Amino acid sequence: MTADVDHILGQADWLRTDGIQAVFAAIEQEGDQARVVGGAVRNTLLGHPVPDVDIATTAPPETVMQRARAAGLKPVGTGLDHGTVTVLSGGFPYEVTTLREDVETFGRQARVVFGRDWTRDAERRDFTLNALYVDRFGHLHDPLGGLEDCLARRVRFIGAPDRRIQEDYLRILRFFRIYAAYGQGDMDAEGLGACLRQRDGLRHLSAERIGHEMRRLLRAPLAGPALRMMNDCGLWEIATGGLARIEDYSALRGLEPFALEVTDPELGLVVLGGFVREDLERICDRFRLSNAERSRMRTAWAALKRLRQAKDLPDAPALVYEFGRQGAIDGLLAFWAGLRGQRRAEDGPQEALLSRLRQVPVPEFPLKGADLIATGHKPGPALGDLLKQLEAKWRESGFSMNKDALIRLADA
């Protein structure tokens, strides 16, 4: 098996670039070693794309800087305190981090020092499938026996789960996120038990860190099952201060064949946590969402409300006019998920409306105040009222009246 694995890793295109080989050549001098670690190794073995490549090394950060510079590469001391240097090579950034080990000090927090021991570096990582290393030749180094877990897509804590969580409560969320992204089958029972017992620790985390992991979780393929388990462990309530609509969320993810938007965190959060408008605002704060994310959620929410109140599905042009194309699509998907979650209604009408929402042009009101002034109307509040009335007529006409017809109506 190891020979196969070495073959797969040796063939990985990211390992065969001149860029990364130049980084290895620069660092591996005077007995120092360097190995790719974590996501890149795991993803290659699982056939997932590799978005970035992290390198671990025995060389101290200052030495990495010097050697990279001497080799004509561009080192940037992005996180020198943590031992991280970003080395630009072949147009690609490599995060090179010096091996670290935890030194037990007082209480639960471990102090971190630089080290030269690959096993100790592995031991302070989170899950066995994330503690795999590969050298410049594609040879796998597996100090903790994580290969089997990785190939079985089993997410297991390194060491005693309760203790590892107490060192960093973010690992609770990472447990669910990494499972959602790379796992399969049942979640590891031991890990789940620890997350359940340690759940109150989530309260100590910053909103940024929670939001970062939750966004990534919501994009992952198994977000539905992962969130169900999080909810069963009482974690969703602690993280958001509200309840979760797990059935509706699973139904939303079931709409993926119709719409890729179902993996967008903003839409997922509206479906999951939006019972009343205040829920949305609270989730936005708890996850420290950006203004753009908040505004997408609010619009989706408004469109969803409109769809829930309507007796029949509204027309596509009216929806895209009021909520914009994205807002209308989001609102429809949330509404559709709700119907499916309660096993109500056929898909047909929603599917037809969705394809119309993607195609119809967004109606644009063809008349400006200046057009009315040019035809003799006086500027002022009355003109604003007139414009509003004309816009209402235009909407009633199914957005069909043109500018001349509207001017004629204004003069009538």
Binding stretches for ligand ATP (CB under 6 A): 38-39, 54, 125-126, 130, 168, 170-171, 174, 181
> Which amino acid is residue 71, in one-letter code?
A
- Which residue in this structure is represented by tokens 């990582």? 125
Nearer residue to Mg ion within complex by CB, 39 or 161: 39
Please state at what angle helix 277-286 crosses helix 265-273, rounded to 10 degrees. 130
Give the nearest distance from C-beta 39 to Mg ion in angstroms: 4
Please state, in angstroms and rounded to a whole number, the distance separating the CA atoms of residues 327 and 335.
12
> Which amino acid is residue 27, in one-letter code?
I
Of ligand ATP, Mg ion, none, which one does residue 6 interact with (CB within 5 to 8 Å by kind)?
Answer: none
Nearer residue to ligand ATP within complex by CB, 125 or 306: 125
Please state, in angstroms and rounded to a whole number, the distance separating the CA atoms of residues 304 and 314.
12
Give the nearest distance from C-beta 245 to ligand ATP in angstroms: 26
Q: List the beta bridge partners of residue 57.
A: 34, 98
Nearer residue to Mg ion within complex by CB, 174 or 245: 174
Q: In degrees rounded to 5, what are phi and psi of residue 194?
A: -65, -40
Give the nearest distance from C-beta 88 to ligand ATP in angstroms: 19
Give the nearest distance from C-beta 122 to ligand ATP in angstroms: 8
Task: Look at strands 54-57 and 92-98 and give their pairing.
Answer: parallel
> Which amino acid is residue 132, in one-letter code?
L
List the one residue out of 232, 263, 233 whose CA is nearest residue 249.
263
Of Mg ion, ligand ATP, none, which one does residue 168 interact with (CB within 5 to 8 Å by kind)?
Answer: ligand ATP
* 39 binding Mg ion? (CB under 5 A): yes
Nearer residue to ligand ATP within complex by CB, 177 or 245: 177
Of Mg ion, ligand ATP, none, which one does residue 286 interact with (CB within 5 to 8 Å by kind)?
Answer: none
Hey, how many other C-beta atoms are within 10 angstroms of the C-beta on 177? 26
Strand, coil or helix: what is 134? strand
Nearer residue to Mg ion within complex by CB, 39 or 75: 39
Please state, in angstroms and rounded to a whole number, the distance separating the CA atoms of residues 54 and 219.
22
Q: Which residue of this chain has its Cβ atom nearest to ligand ATP in the complex?
A: 39
Q: What is the DSSP letter of 57?
A: E
Give the nearest distance from C-beta 130 to ligand ATP in angstroms: 3
List the one residue out of 366, 332, 370, 364 whose CA is nearest residue 351.
332
Task: Could you list the beta-strand ranges (E) of 90-237.
Answer: 92-98, 100-104, 110-114, 133-134, 140-141
Of ligand ATP, Mg ion, none, which one does residue 67 interact with (CB within 5 to 8 Å by kind)?
Answer: none
Give the nearest distance from C-beta 224 to ligand ATP in angstroms: 18
What six digits make up the tokens of 368?
């400006």
Q: Which residue of this chain has its Cβ atom nearest to Mg ion in the complex?
A: 39
Give the nearest distance from C-beta 233 to ligand ATP in angstroms: 18
Please state, in angstroms and rounded to a whole number, the distance separating the CA atoms of residues 93 and 338.
43
Nearer residue to ligand ATP within complex by CB, 109 or 397: 109
Give the nearest distance from C-beta 274 to ligand ATP in angstroms: 27
- Which residue in this structure is represented by tokens 């992952």? 220
Of ligand ATP, Mg ion, none, which one does residue 44 interact with (CB within 5 to 8 Å by kind)?
Answer: none
Choices 36-44, 177-185, 223-231, 369-377; region in contact with Mg ion by CB under 5 A: 36-44
Nearer residue to ligand ATP within complex by CB, 125 or 253: 125
* 36 binding Mg ion? (CB under 5 A): no
* 273 binding Mg ion? (CB under 5 A): no
Nearer residue to ligand ATP within complex by CB, 58 or 97: 97
The residues, any chain, with a CB within 8 Å of residue 116's CB and separated by 6 or more, are: 58, 99
Contact residues for Mg ion, defined by CB under 5 A: 39
